Amino acid sequence: MRLIALYRQPPDPQAFDKAYFGTHLPLMGKVPGLQASVVSKFTRTVMGEGFYMMADMAFPDEGTLKQAMRSPEMAAAGDNLATVAEGLVTLMFAEDPVPAG
Amino acid sequence: MRLIALYRQPPDPQAFDKAYFGTHLPLMGKVPGLQASVVSKFTRTVMGEGFYMMADMAFPDEGTLKQAMRSPEMAAAGDNLATVAEGLVTLMFAEDPVPAG
């Protein structure tokens, strides 16, 4: 099970990157059960409303992810996110990916 | 380099899944240079505007992806997409993911 964060274009990408990689990711790294975080930047929007960046955070199963969402470490990361990316974030649970051809 | 498609909630998910997996993915499978497609369904939106599904399509490099975007096979897949998911899609280029802790 994964936690996916999609970030819309920040007004100041340089300040966003500094806060995200310097402060937010280290806080997320303390969240219990998190196995790996993978961050991808979007470089071009071909169709529809685009985003700036995606973070794909893997947990071993849904129960662990749900516990993580209630942890004090996630609360701290969430509080930080409100200062780093207020109004920019979509946060979703995602099933483990299915290779599809 | 990857091509990422984000799909908003379709009005009829069962019909969407049938068209997507039965028709669209096989058409995408013919696109030159596509190495792998990985599809993930979102199961819960915690914050912000949610999506239904994501397709993560890997290409060896940006040049191959750009060529693929101009290919007749991609044009066929795009025409099909207009019937499967009109108004539901965000399509973006993304850098290869960076493991981030």
Q: Whole-angstrom Cα distance, residue B47 to residue A67?
A: 17
- List the single residue in B47, B95, B101 with the smallest CB-CB distance to A40: B95
- H/E segment holding residue A66: helix A62-69
Which of B1, B44, B86 is the best residue to mutate to test the A interface, defined by the most A CB atoms within 10 Å of its own CB?
Answer: B44
Q: Whole-angstrom Cα distance, residue B34 to residue B9?
A: 26
Please state the ipTM of this predicted complex: 0.91
- List the single residue in B21, B39, B91 with the smallest CB-CB distance to A97: B39
Cβ-defined contact of A90 to B51 (cutoff 8 Å): yes
Read off the tokens for B84: 């499967």
Is 70 exceeded by the pLDDT of residue A99? no
Residue B29 or A101, more confident? B29
- What's chain A's average pLDDT? 93
> pTM for this structure?
0.93
* Residues of B within an 8 Å Cβ radius of A: 2-4, 6, 21, 25-26, 28-29, 36-51, 54-56, 69, 89-101
Mean pLDDT of B83-95: 92
- List the single residue in A42, A89, A91 with the smallest CB-CB distance to B93: A42
How many Å separate Cα A38 from the centre of its chain? 9
Cβ-defined contact of B39 to A92 (cutoff 8 Å): no
pLDDT in tens, A43-75: 999 999 999 999 999 999 999 999 999 999 999
Beta strand residue intervals within chain A, DSSP E: 2-7, 36-47, 53-58, 89-94, 98-99
Bridge partner list, B89: B7
